[in-house]
Every structure is written in C-alpha cells, then in structure tokens.
Amino acid sequence: MLAVGVTGAPTLADPQPIKAHLDLVLLALEAIAELNSEAMLHTAARLHLTDTIGDRLTLWRLRQSSPLRKGKGGRKRLDVDEARALTLIASELASQHHSKIRQTVAHLEAYSQKGRAPHQAPMVGDYLDRFFQLYEERMEERPPEALALKLLVDLLFYSAPTGDRRLWLNLLERSSPSS
C-alpha cells in the first residue's frame, strides 16, 4: 500500500518485507551470477536510475535497510522510487543472466526428480555455497537451504520479459496490510 510521506515522496506503508525481499533477491543474483555492486550501479546507469541510485554508498545504505541485516547503518525509510529502482535493476540483471539461472533451475529440477539432494548438482551446489557465504557475512542468522532455492526459482520468473512487473506486484503484495 502506498502513502505520501511528510516530504511529499510516496512511501510504502509497511516497507520492512519489501526491504528484506529486495535485498534477498539481489543477494541471490550476486550468488548465481557472481555479481558485485559495480554491476548493479552499471545497470542503474543504463536504466537512467542514477538520480535514485547513483553511487555505491547509496546502494549500500538502501540494501542495509533490510531488517535482516547485521549492521544498523542503513536507511530506515524506503521510498517507492527507490524500491522501484531496485526492482528494475534486479529484473534487468536477472534477464541478463537468464541462461545461467534457467540452467541452474533445470539442474535443480532434474536432481529433485531423482530424489537427490539439490546441492549435489554442481551448479546448484556452487550457487548455494556462494549464497550461504554472502548471507552469513551480512545477515544475523544462517538461512535455511529452502530459502536459497526458492530465491533461485523466483529469479527465473523475474528474468522474464514481464519479470519486473512480477517482482513489483510481489513486493506490493508483501507490503499490503492483509499479507
């Protein structure tokens, strides 16, 4: 749900789930595509989003606003424009790395059908290793493997031509009072 803040900038009624989910989606992208913040800033520039996310510090503070993060130096507020910019960046990066995401999901499905543990699939195992490493560096607790795998499958859907819309609707859904 959207509201207008004191400054006039639209804000999200309950931004906590949005902050957390956006940060996790970007973290999963970092893990699957071995990205860093430079790639995100480059994408922001390509999408003409530098007014919202123009430098590494801004990006760090926005991502640090996730309630799951260890540090407390992040922003407490998240504007709609900022959430939208992160949404566009995430879906654009997912689209760029669609082939690898799809291939990894295919391996995940194949191993699941055989009843084998997902991490035994080489591509999935590499992804999980990087995901856990990044997660433990930044978050309070070790995540369940199911979360990492779910984010991987989510990335597949966000990499579609309508992926930004799917991610955005998902975020709105998470911020609505009924959710």
Q: Summarize as ranges the residues that interact with other proteins (CB under 8 A).
A: 1-2, 10, 46-49, 51-52, 80-82, 84-85, 87-88, 91-92, 95, 102, 105-106, 108-109, 112, 144, 146-147, 149-150, 153-154, 156-157, 160-170, 172-174, 176, 179
Report the largest interatomic distance among the alpha carbons of the chain, rounded to a whole angstrom. Answer: 55
Q: Residue 61 has which token pair?
A: 């503070």
Residue 124 identity: V
Angle CA 17–21–26, to nearest 5: 155
Q: How far is the CB of 93 from other proteins (least distance, A)?
A: 11
> Which lies closer to other proteins via its Cβ, residue 77 or residue 166?
166
Q: What phi-psi label fits residue 115: left (phi over 0), alpha (psi between -120 and 50 degrees) or beta?
A: left
Q: Residue 77 has which token pair?
A: 């507020």
Q: How far is the CB of 130 from other proteins (least distance, A)?
A: 19
Q: How far is the CB of 48 from other proteins (least distance, A)?
A: 4
DSSP 125: H
Q: How far is the CB of 60 from other proteins (least distance, A)?
A: 19
